[in-house]
Copies of this chain bind each other. A is one copy, B any other.
Amino acid sequence: MKLIIAIVNDEDAIDVIDLLNEKGYRVTKLATTGGFLKSGNTTLMIGIEADKVDTVLGIIEETCKTRHQVVTNPSPLSTTTGVYVPYPVDIEVGGATIFVLDVDNFIKI
A15 to B: closest C-beta gap in Å: 14
- A29 and B30 contact, CB distance less than 8 A: no
Residues of A within 8 A of B (CB): 1-3, 5, 7, 17, 26-36, 41, 43, 45, 47, 53, 57, 60-61, 64-66, 94-109
- B28 and A41 contact, CB distance less than 8 A: yes
- B28 and A43 contact, CB distance less than 8 A: yes
A-B contact pairs, 30 of them (CB 8 A): A1-B99, A3-B5, A3-B99, A3-B101, A5-B45, A7-B28, A28-B32, A28-B36, A29-B33, A30-B30, A31-B31, A31-B32, A31-B33, A35-B45, A36-B47, A47-B97, A61-B107, A66-B109, A94-B109, A95-B109, A96-B107, A97-B106, A97-B108, A98-B106, A98-B107, A99-B106, A100-B103, A100-B105, A101-B101, A101-B103
